[in-house]
Every structure is written in C-alpha cells, then in structure tokens.
Structure 1
C-alpha cells in the first residue's frame, strides 16, 4: 500500500470514529426519551478506492414497531380503565358504607337510630331535634351526591372538549411531519429526528383514541382508529365536539341536549366498547357522561323516591291528606311519579318539622299538619315513622325494581352493587397498568442499552487510536523520506 493510500484510509477511519462517537453520545443522552429510536452507524467498505478503506453509508434508526404498537394500545386501555375506576370510586364514596359518616348509608342508619331513640322518649325535645337533624342531613346528602354526579358528567364533557382539541392539533402536526419527512427523504437528508417527533405525537394520539399506523410511500404513515375510523391518510381528519357548560340530570345525548362526536362531519358512535373511537380516554369520558353517571343518578333517584314514598303515605302520618307531602318532599311538594328524574337533587326535609325553615320539631311526634302539640308522651307517630323506614316494600324503580327492601337494605344493596363495579374496574386497571409496565420495559430493552453503547464507545476509541497511530506512522515516514 502506498503512503497516500495509508493516509487516506487513516483519515476515513478517523471520520468514521468521530461520527460513531456522535451517534453513541446521542443514543446515551436519549436512552429514556419517549419516541426515540436508537441510532446505528452504517459503515461499508470503500469500493470506489483502490486502497479500500471505510465509508459512512448513513445513520439508521432502529425501533421495534410491533412492540411500540402494542404499547400504544396498552396505554390507551390503561387510560380508559383509569377514568372508569375513578368514577366508580366516586360513586361508591358518595353512597358509601355505614362506617363513612358522610355517606348516604351512614345518614340513613343515623336517622333510623334517632327515630327509635325519640320514640322511646317522645317527650324529650332534644331527641326530636336530633331526629330532625338526622333527617335534614340525609336529605342534604342526597342533594350533595346528585351534585357530585352531575359535576362528574360536566367534567367529563369538558374533558372531551379539551381532548378533542388536542386530538385535532396532534393529527395536524403528524400530517405536517409526514410532509416534512417526505421532503427530507426526497432530498436525501436524514429525517430520524422528525420520525421521533412523529412517534411521540402518535403515542399521544393513541392514548386519546387507540390507533394503528399503516406505512405509506416516501416515509409517510396513515392512522386508523381501532374502530376503523380514518384519522389521517393524505389529509388529517377534523374531529368535532360541542361542549356543554353545565350538565344536569335532564341532559341526554339521545335527546340531542348533549353533543356527540363527528369526524369530517359524519357522526361517530361513542359507545365505549364498540364505537368508532372506542378504547381510549375520550371513549371513557363519553361512558362516564352518558352511561355510568346517568345510571348512578337513576339509582340515586330511585332511592330518593323510595324514601319520599315511605313517609308520604297517610297511613304513616294520620294528619296528611292524599296529596300532602310527607317527611321528605320534592322541593317542598308531594312527589309525582312522572317526574322522577333528578328527584335526588330536589329532595328536601318538610319545612313543617324543620326549625331552620320556621317549623317545629314536635310535629315529628304529633303529625306534620298538626296545629298544636298533642300528648307529649304518645310515641305512636314516631313508631310509625320507624316502621315506615324499616318496612320491606317493593322498589318502584331502579335496577332493583320489584324486589322487597327496607330503606337501609335498599341503600346497602346499591352500595354493594357499585362496590363490585369499583372492584372489577380496579382489577382491570391493575392488569392494564402491569401490561403497560411490561411492554415499556421490553421496548426499553430493545432500545438503547447504555452498557452496550459504552462498550461500543471503547471500540470506537480503540479505532480512533489505531488510525491516529497510522497517521503518526505516515508522518514519520514522510519525514524520513524528506530527510534523505
């Protein structure tokens, strides 16, 4: 080999070593960067030179696309499960168990206890006042629970609006990156950073709506939802949703009082299990707004109706007429079975027995419409109130319609129903979280291995030193020749 050939090969080797160290440094610094694909320096022999040598062919990007796809779908399922677990936990807490003082179950048990206590000493004003206080607290707990459910629906509606805006923005950015990647590829430039950025956006989109990527010409990709909706292919789809400021028990998507979702102007099913955009965070918010919270409100209304009807019966309070409101009222009036929706939020204590509304606690003992006090030692009326609360009667509405329940049994049954729902949601969330964790570890394992990159760096250092030694040797030879 000539001195010129040796010098050329050494210079090529130094260039390859320098580029290799840059690639290794980029890999190590981005080892935990989301969407980053490991860079690989591609080298080949310099066939164009009679002296051989090394040539830098380019820098490749390595990513396990199949594993990345599985991870995206798992993250979407996890986001969906997390939102559903949250709403079931909220519902379980507001209905609650007897050991939670602010729960409806505990307030119902407190009313029963205080009525029994008052019936044992009907002449004791403080016992009557305590029973009235328990009844007021129970009514207030229904109102608070109903407000909490409607706030959950309102928040879900607001979250859908925010997430749809983010979805549109991300789709537009992926579309722009598609064009930039194509332009870069046509010009023969490296576009790995653009692909990384696109990967991050696709991962973000998939949490909102699970998507699958389909390769297109010139480095572009198309995005399809798992439900078959085209979100990006040549152009980005326009997803539309109209937010509602406040959601009430009367708002319903089927009645047109709540917005559904459209893609390029076409309505898309919002069912969490089989809708066009099912499986992700957006679908979970629709399920909360249109299914879970609506059902829970229905059970709460059924429970409130049962409570009102128990004490509205003239056989329980002999002073009442056929249309008179009982101990618990529908916003001060008698309950109308045709107007059950939202009754839990309108539930109130009859003003006749509530000192805070100008009433008198003794009417709990003598009758709601009694004009004056009767025999202070007569506990018959209070005993009838206790019997009304503990009587097993058929539930007129709700998921347990037709069954025979006392008030406390009906409350406990509904509590158990949502405890099972919450437990199931928790198990699903745990499974999905474990799946995301496992896939993340596997993806990281297939990605940048810092130890392996450091080993590569040591080899690069050795190659650099060898080529530097070659240059030094060539220099010594040149000095020798010049000295002859």
Structure 2
C-alpha cells in the first residue's frame, strides 16, 4: 500500500469517526426527548481504482417500531377521551354533592322537610312558615343552579370540540408540509431524521384527538387514516369544519339542528352523531358529553323538578286545589306540562300566591293555596299533607320508577356517582395499557450506557487514524531528508 493510499484511508476514517461522534452525541443529548428516534451510522467500504480505499457513510438509520407506535397511538386516543369524560363527571358529581351536604339537592330537600315538621308543631308561627318558604326557595334555586351548571358543561364540551377541530386541521397541514420537506431532503441525499422526529410528534398530537393509523410510503411520506377508514391526509390534508354555539340551553340538541356537527367541505359527516368515523379520541368524548352524558343528567334533573311540581299541585295533597290549579311550585308561573320537560329544572319557581315578595300570603302554606278565608292558626292539617306529599311514592313521568321525593334525588346522585366510578375504572385500565406500551416504545430508544461505550470506541478509532496520518507524515519527512 502506498503512503498516499494510507493517508486517504486514514482521512476517510477520520471523516467517518467524526460522523459517528455527531450521531452518538445527538443520541445522548436527546435520550429524554419525546418523539426522538435513535440513530445509527451505516458504513460501506470505499473503492478507488478497484482497490479498497477506506470507508464512507452509506446512510443514517433512524430506529422506531411501527407496531408499538401504532398501538400506543390508539391507546393515546382512548386515554385522552376517557380522561376528558372522567374530569367532567367528577365536576358533575362535585356540583351535585353527596347526601350529607346541606347544599346538595338531597340536603335542600331534607332541610325543607324539617322546616315543614317544625311548622306543623306550631302552625301559628309566621317565623316557622317563613322558614318553610325560605327552604323551598333554596330547593328551587339549587335546581336552577344545577341546570345552569350542566348547560355550562355542555357549552365547555362544545368549545372543546371547536379547539380540537382547529388543532386537527393545523396538525394535518403540518404533516403535509413535513411530507414535502422529507421528500426534498431525501432527494438531495441528506438525513431527514430530525424531520421524522418532528412529524412523529405532530401525528402523536393528532392521535389524541382521533384514533389514527399511519401508512408509510417508499418516498418517506405518510398517509393518515382513522381506524374506521376516513382519510385524513393523502396527497393533501383534509380540512374539517365546525360551528361552535355561543350559548347552549337545555332544549338545544344536535337532532334539532341547534347544535353543530363536524362537516367536510360543508357536508355533515354524520347528521345523527355529529362526528361519524372520527369518534374515539378526545373529540369523540366531547360529543358524547355534549349530546349524551350531560343531556341524560339534565333529563334526570328535569324529572326531579317535574316530580316536585306534580306532588304539590296534586289536589289529593291540598283539598283547596282543583285539577289544573298551580301548586306550591310552578313552571315559571304555570302548571306542569308533561310534554314540555326540557329545561324544567331551570324554570321551576315558587307559586306567587305564597310569596310575600310577589304579593302573596305566607299563611296559605297552612290554610291551603286556594283558601278563601284564613283558617284556624293552630290547624296543622295542610302542613302535614305537604309532609306526606314528599313521602309518597309516585311516578308521574311515563316510564319512571315509583320513588319518594328523597328517593328520586338519591337515585339520581347515585347514578352519577356509579357512572363516574365506572369511567374511573376504565381510565385506570387504559392508563395501565398506555404505560406498558410506552415502556416498550422507550425500550427501543436510546441506551445511554451503550452510547457511552460507543464514544470510547470512537475515541480509539480517532486516535488510530490520527496515528496513521502521523506515521505517514514521519515517513514522508524521512524520505525528503534522503
């Protein structure tokens, strides 16, 4: 081997060693970076004139496991959706309170019943009658407050859908841009690994919103589809539409057209569900909350309001009432209409006839709502009828089970609690799956011990190639001295 060949081989070795050091340092510095794929240098023998002439870098390989990555992304979608559902159910449960909370519906009803019992022991006391009215007003106020809170949660779910759509559209455009950049970088023979890392992070963000599958192409670009077959990105990104509602009331639903679903090119994806084949991630959870979970909670709350109004407008519980007369509680000043229950919890109100602030007489609580004259102040008969009205089991709502007033409220809060517990259990299971897949994914990542060992070998290779150059230089000098 000639001295020039030895120098050429050593120089190529130094160049490769430098590239090795660059890749290894990148691996070490990004060991904890999400989306980073470990790199390795692939070498090939260099040929000059048919004779081995050193070494050169053939390519930089980025390691990732497509199977584990795909499974983890599907669990990402489930986890983000379930977490959003659990968070809302926890807020709903906290809003309703437990049975021992005096500010809860059950607590308000218990205090109202206690005030009736005290008033019945001294029906002549206007103070005790006023307390009955105050406790009844607290009950209606709590029903209205819970109604507003539920509509507020539906409003938040609607706004979350709008944010998810904005993020999804933006992320799909970014992936399309990355596809173009990766193709361009590969076409000029450069390493696209950093672009692949960034694209993976963007796709991970999409996977939290909708369940997504990635299909790789030979040129380095990818196609994104939902697990149900809806194309999100092929040659270009799909862009979805959604119109958030500035205000949501109990009667506003997707079916009535008052609430928006997702559109594609102005055409609804699914007029029934609003989300169609994009269901499964955080956005699907928001649709379920807005159009199902919270609507069902609202329906149960309206059922409680209807039950209370019906109990106190029943002529059997006030002999001065005739069928069609208003009772202690009204639907914004009217009688109960079983065909118009949506939002009733927000409309329930005191009968003006018993409210002194509205020109009513508090004594009618004792004498009967339609009493023509003032009855004996010591007669507790009507007050005892109000107490009995709360304890009787009834089902004025078609299909509803017979319950006492307290039993119906306890059933409602128990149902919300059971739903939250079930959602918590599912979330724990999904989180455990995510942890397992994440660990498997990280196992394919950077091994810092191995990279440090590589650095030692790189140092040795650098020293060896440098020694060859030093020796060749010494030989050249000796030859020049001859």
Alignment partners' CA distance in 1, 2:304 and 2:241: 37
Paired residues of 2:353 and 2:359 also in contact (CA < 8 A): yes
Kindly state the Cα deviation for residue 88 of structure 1 after the two structures are TM-superposed.
Answer: 2.3
Give unmatched runs, 5+ long, in structure 1: none
Equivalent residue for 1:21?
21
Deviation of 1:370 after TM superposition, in Å, equals 4.2
**Corresponding position of 1:289:** 290
- The SS at the match of 2:317 is coil
The aligned runs of 1:233-248 (5 Å cut-off) are 233-248=234-249
Q: Whole-Å Cα distance in 1 between the matches of residues 199 and 251 of structure 2?
A: 42
Q: Distance in 1 between matches of 2:362 and 2:54?
A: 102
Alignment check: 8 A CA contact 1:143 1:345 kept: yes
3-state DSSP of counterpart to 1:177: helix
Give 1:404's match in structure 2, choosing from 397, 402, 405. 402
Tell me the TM-score normalised to structure 1 length. Answer: 0.94
TM-score (norm 2): 0.94
Q: Distance in 2 between matches of 1:200 and 1:440?
A: 14
1:270 and 1:82 map into 2 onto residues whose CA distance is 26
User: Quick one: which of 472, 475, 479 aligns to 1:474?
Assistant: 472
Counterpart position of 2:448: 450
Q: Does 1:325 align with 2:326?
A: yes
1:156–1:286: 8 Å Cα contact kept in structure 2? Answer: yes
Equivalents in 2 of 1:125, 1:318: separation in Å?
22
Q: Bigger shift: 83-92 or 297-306?
A: 83-92
Structure-2 separation of matches of 1:64 and 1:309:
63
Contact 2:28 2:451 in 1 (8 A): yes
CA spacing shift, 1:439–1:339, aligned 2, 3 Å: same
Report the CA distance between 1:72 and its aligned residue: 0.8
The alpha-carbon distance between structure 1 residues 271 and 86, as it changes in their structure 2 partners (threshold 3 A), is farther
| Residue 72 of structure 2 corresponds to residue 74 of structure 1 | no
Alpha carbons of structure 1 residues 124 and 452: separation in structure 2 relative to 1, 3 Å: farther
What are the residue-to-residue correspondences of 1:425-436 with 2, within 5 Å? 425-436=423-434
How far apart are residue 345 of structure 1 and its match? 0.6
Instruction: Name the counterpart of 2:5.
Output: 5
Q: Contact (CA 8 Å) 2:144, 2:345: kept in 1 or not?
A: yes
Q: CA deviation at 1:358?
A: 4.6
Q: CA deviation at 1:299?
A: 0.9
> How many angstroms does 1:227 deviate by?
1.8
Aligned to 1:32: 32
Q: Any gaps of 5 or more consecutive residues in structure 2?
A: none
Q: How many angstroms apart in 1 are the aligned matches of 2:294 and 2:120?
A: 38
CA contact (8 A) 1:91 1:296 kept: no
Quote the residue 1:209 is aligned against.
Answer: 210
Equivalent residues in 2 for 1:293-442, closer than 5 Å: 293-370=294-371, 373-397=374-398, 401-442=399-440
Contact 1:150 1:248 in 2 (8 A): yes
| C-alpha spacing 1:272/1:73, structure 2 compared with 1 (3 Å) | farther
Q: 2:223 aligns to what SS in structure 1?
A: strand
Match of 1:56? 57
- C-alpha displacement at 1:176, in angstroms? 1.8
Matched, 1:131 2:132: yes
**Secondary structure, counterpart of 2:99 in structure 1:** coil
Structure 1 residue 420 displacement after superposition: 1.3
Q: More displaced, 309-318 or 2-11?
A: 2-11
Q: How many Å apart are 1:483 and its aligned residue? A: 3.1
Contact 1:242 1:259 in 2 (8 A): yes
Which deviates more, 450-459 or 260-269?
260-269
Instruction: Tell me if the contact between 1:76 and 1:207 (Cα under 8 Å) persists in the aligned partners.
Output: yes
Greater displacement, 320-329 / 453-462: 320-329
Aligned equivalents of 1:137 and 1:437: distance in 2?
47
Change (3 A) 1:441 1:195: same
Give the aligned partner of residue 42 of structure 2: 42
Match of 1:198 in 2: 199
**Preserved CA contact (<8 Å) 1:305 1:343:** yes
Q: Deviations over 1:143-184 (max 9, x none)?
A: 111111111111111111121121111111211221222222
Deviates more, 1:427-436 or 1:277-286: 427-436
Aligned length: 481
1:373 positional shift:
4.4
CA–CA distance in 2 between the matches of 1:46 and 1:53?
Answer: 5
Aligned residues: CA RMSD? 2.1
Q: After TM superposition, give the deviation of residue 270 of structure 1 in Å.
A: 7.7
d(CA) in 1 for partners of 2:85, 2:48: 63
Q: Distance in 1 between matches of 2:470 and 2:122?
A: 110
Q: Is the 8 A contact 1:149 1:293 kept in 2?
A: yes
Q: Is the contact made by 1:366 and 1:373 (CA closer than 8 Å) also made in structure 2? A: yes
TM-aligned CA deviation for residue 277 of structure 1:
0.6
